[in-house]
Amino acid sequence: MTTSVVHCSALFLTAPSSNQGKTTITAALARYFTNQGKVVRVFKTGPDYLDPQILAQASKQPVEQLDIWMAGEYYCQDKLYQAAQIADLILVEGAMGMFDGEPSSADLAARFGIPMAIVMDVKGMAQTAAAVATGLANFRDDVQVAGLIANRCGSERHAELIRDALPASLPLLATLKRDDEITLPERHLGLVQADEVKDELEIRFEAAVEWLQETQDSGLLSLPNAVPFYPANQVDAEQTIEQHLLGKTIAVAKDAAFSFIYDANLIALKSLGAELVFFSPLHDQALPKADALWLPGGYPELHSKTLSENTVMRQAIQDFYQAGKGILAECGGMLYSLETLTDLEENEYPMLGILAGQGAMRGKRGCQGMQTAVTPQGDIRGHAHHRSRSANTPEPVGYGRRQRHPAPGEAIYQQKGLTASYLHLFFPSNLDATAKLFLANPQD
């Protein structure tokens, strides 16, 4: 494999805030160029499970996270470099607003020299949209801005007002009309999972391609300029990979209730030597033969009745726990591990009961943010994002360390072989500590 610089067309989709249409436009671009026979690799900034599912279907390629804090610069550089060797186009979708977070989307784009396109919902404004975009483009000297994408633009006259107010250095790349049929479906934690609406998404993707082609401006309809991507120097890596899980089989829960799984985490477990098998707590009647178990996050509250009624599976996991085998339960997986779970309609259902306590949904109020899981096995970076609470749980062995606040983060529980927390872990941030969580008696 070549170790020299690789050039690849690249564009970073950002916005002044959330809910401007970044994912919809990123998916539309991915499908537009994929339909032209191009290989499009899409990355999503920050801790997100749902957007990558959508973008993977749109691009027909795997989608992984890029986050300097969660994954590290070496990891991000290596992922971009590997993608550049096979792709005709790299798209990166930002998180929140352009300069929000530490590090922000702008920090990531600046670090790797990727030009940014500002996506803005311009409904209800005209020249002001140009003023806001100009301010964003000139806020920092180290950020390259390719132009503005005016989303939900009402008419050609509306577009003209914005276009004429923009400086020559900030072109209007596209003016996209208002079309609610293009908007991606959502629920309480974000977008609906791609597998639930696969056929509907295909219709929306193809409609989105037509939507792009109807723009009065053509700045998005050809490949952007090529960007140089450099190989990551192995000496910059903070850890070497030792196959601590060689010969071990990990059973991973994966269905409509448990799907918050980073592809990067699966790759990490395989790099540690593990063999992965998947099963459904919703539908399967037996656990696959395995040495350890991973119950990731998801939407157990939407399927609590079915999970509760699958008593054969519940008994199988209870037996697995009693045998002292390694179990990692994250967020939704932790709720499933508790004694009961109360859904959004106030219905209470029995769950696994391998961790004392009760879980309950609490509507729109919740907790989110980047945290480091401080465990006896080592620190693992990750994040919290939930709209539920737990009560009457055991004494934790540790807490998450918040990225920018001194208050303790999410509690971390360990007993027998079980590690449970609201935190979603990013395994590549500490492979050695991750491996230990999947081994029996993690506190040994």
Here the tokens at position 242 are 């030792």
Residue 310 CB neighbours (<10 A): 18
**330 vs 312: CA distance, rounded Å:** 22
Segments in 310-430 forming alpha helices (H): 311-322, 332-337
**27 vs 60: CA distance, rounded Å:** 11
Radius of gyration of the chain (CA): 23
Amino acid present at 163: R
Here the tokens at position 374 are 């401080």
Residue 153 a catalytic site member: no
- Tokens 């929000």 -> residue: 100
Nearest to 352 by CA among 331, 365, 335, 368: 335
Q: Active site residue: 8, 76, 331, 367, which one?
A: 331
Please, which residues have CB within 8 angstroms of residue 255's CB and are 6 or more apart in sequence? 280, 281, 282, 283
State the pairing for strand pair 145-153/116-121: parallel
Positive or negative, the CA dihedral 410, 70, 63, 117 is: positive
- What φ, ψ does residue 121 adopt, rounded to 5°? -75, 110
Here the tokens at position 304 are 């609590």
Tallying the residues shown for the chain, one arrives at 444
**426 vs 72: CA distance, rounded Å:** 11
Which residues are designated catalytic? 331
